[in-house]
Amino acid sequence: MSRALDPSLRRQLADRIRFYRELGIYEFYRRPVDSRGADNTARDPSLDEEEASSMISPTIPRARAADPEDDLFSAPKPEAGVSDPARALAIIREDLGACTRCRLHKQGRQQIVFGVGNPKADLMFVGEAPGADEDEQGEPFVGRAGQLLNNMIKAMGIRREDVYIANIIKCRPPGNRVPERDECETCSPFLLRQIAAIQPKVIVALGAVAAKTLLAINAPMAELRGRWYDFRGIKLAVTYHPAFLLRDPRQKKEAWKDLQRVMQELGLTVGAAR
């Protein structure tokens, strides 16, 4: 049962939310804790990237409910009311700015990798984080993994220009390490605003980090794949990250099965590239 907040606590929360609004962050995460109240996301550094990401249990971002006594909790985002998705994305990018909201801006990133593609796309791919090539060029999925993603998109009968591509976080982690929880929490609200602006029919989460950050489901990829999820009214599918497929090409057949389900949902046929 909900209860009224203590006035002093309420003022502190309002001040904190106002602070985040000034930073351009409009959505928040609820961090899960174990029975002792401790964060339960520590992982073994000996695990490889795919195994490590399967241990992460990020939480789905949830906007706080509006309070009739204080419209701070329902303040509109800068792009609210903008019907043109291209313009809305430009406003979000402007709001993001040079971004010093997390530690990554001090850890060697060259530039922010915002996203690229058709702002009216029916299909959106969401990866994990920029790599070295992406950090250099300022565009997601342009390295070896990006070339494989291009081939996957072409095999679906469409072009890279027809889809929208982004990542959970927009700055390269040092050494291409798995993004930390607080980095995802800080950056993902901007991704959610991108998704809201584009309103794709289908989102494909590439890899465990993307899937778990969006869905808050702590399960191995074998369980995450092969079904549809509802993400804020948008259908979401999960498949392997292209970088993982480069390390284990045997899984390409499984990834193709995932993409065929997406094609069926979108009414696409092989060889129908425009």
Please report the pLDDT score of residue 33 as a whole number.
46
DSSP the chain: ---PPPHHHHHHHHHHHHHHHHHT---EE---B-TTS-B-----TTS-HHHHHHH-----EEPPPPBTTBGGGGPPPTTTT---HHHHHHHHHHHHTT--SSGGGGTT--S----EE-TT-SEEEEES---HHHHHHTSSS-SHHHHHHHHHHHHTT--GGGSEEEESSSSPPGGGPPPPHHHHHHHHHHHHHHHHHH--SEEEEESHHHHHHHH-----HHHHSSS-EEETTEEEEEE--HHHHHH-GGGHHHHHHHHHHHHHHHT--TT---
Kindly report the pTM of this predicted structure.
0.75
How many angstroms separate the CA atoms of 41 and 32, rounded?
9
Please report the pLDDT score of residue 2 as a whole number.
47
Please report the pLDDT score of residue 3 as a whole number.
57
How many angstroms separate the CA atoms of 262 and 259, rounded?
5
Domains contained in the chain, CATH given: 11-266 (3.40.470.10)
CB 206 within 8 A of CB 123: no
Please report the pLDDT score of residue 24 as a whole number.
56
Please report the pLDDT score of residue 217 as a whole number.
86
In the chain (274 residues long), the average pLDDT of successive 10-residue segments reads 64 68 56 46 40 38 36 72 97 96 94 98 98 97 97 97 98 95 94 98 97 91 95 97 97 97 93 50
How many Cβ atoms from other residues are within 10 Å of residue 24's Cβ?
18
Please report the pLDDT score of residue 27 as a whole number.
58
How many angstroms separate the CA atoms of 20 and 27, rounded?
9
Please report the pLDDT score of residue 23 as a whole number.
59
Please report the pLDDT score of residue 64 as a whole number.
35
